[in-house]
Amino acid sequence: MPELPEVEVVRRGLQAGLTRRTVRRVEVRDHRLRWPVPATLGSELAGRRLESVGRRGKYLLMDFGGDTLIVHLGMSGNLRILDSAPLPARHDHVDIDFGGRLLRYHDPRRFGAMLWHRAADGPLEAHSLLAGLGVEPFSDDFDGAMLYRATRGRALSIKQLLLSGTVVVGVGNIYASESLFRAGIRPSTPARRVGRERCERLARAIRETLSDAIGRGGSSLKDFVGSDGQGGYFQLECFVYGRAGLPCRVCGTPVAMRRDQARATFWCPRCQS
């Protein structure tokens, strides 16, 4: 599943390639995504100019003058900017024609979403998909002190707390494992046992890990490509994720792995005590 760095890479591509352009037409070939693509999407978007592309967690927010197209890439979705209109392939579900540039949504598993939010329906941040999200990791609201407060009394593991998205958004499985390694914290540690100093280290590690991943175009493990069709390569530089049994890049100890709720967790038994 695309995580925050991958979504941010896509956001930057859309922002650079499509803002200030006007939608000519919309073609929806399959409305059956995680939630049905609105039947009125074509009439809502036609003639509208894309003003900016934002992001909240893993949701892309395409602003058309106050009304917003909310996009989630799901498990396997991608958005490609094309300079021509090649014949659609299987799973090319939605085309948005910006006149000379085509935005095409491809999603084999159809777990993604394209939803329309009108300004008249209320504040965007109050939308049901966005209202319960934690803080943005690059915002001023996120630091070690905030993380320390949020972990008090929490018995679940620190990794599961990060994955929940209720404290901080966008720290998915890859980046939780990598951030915890950089902070020297074992993933199974109960959140309430992570003290102030380690929370400070972890908050810094989360920001550094996500920044490094964005700079490397994200991680392409299966389906992910950016809006230009290029994959990311952060996965080639991971310290622990996907490296079970291989020597730790820092101390040489074999990287450990176990599965928690169908997710693989990786850590170094020596560096993460």
Options 49, 110, 192, 263, the catalytic residue: 263
Q: Does residue 117 contact residue 128 with C-beta atoms inside 8 Å?
A: no
Confirm whether 136 is a catalytic residue.
no
Number of residues in the chain: 273
Confirm whether 263 is a catalytic residue.
yes
Cα–Cα dist 204/184, whole Å: 12
Cα–Cα dist 173/264, whole Å: 8
Confirm whether 3 is a catalytic residue.
yes
Options 55, 56, 58, 201, the catalytic residue: 58
Cα–Cα dist 198/166, whole Å: 20
What string of DSSP letters covers 200-243? HHHHHHHHHHHHHHHHTT-B-SSS---TTSPPPBGGGG-SSTT-
| Alpha-carbon separation of residue 199 from 60, 76, 130, 177, 196 (angstroms) | 29, 32, 25, 15, 5
Confirm whether 27 is a catalytic residue.
no
Options 2, 5, 137, 187, the catalytic residue: 2
Options 3, 6, 8, 178, the catalytic residue: 3
Catalytic positions are 2-3, 58, 263
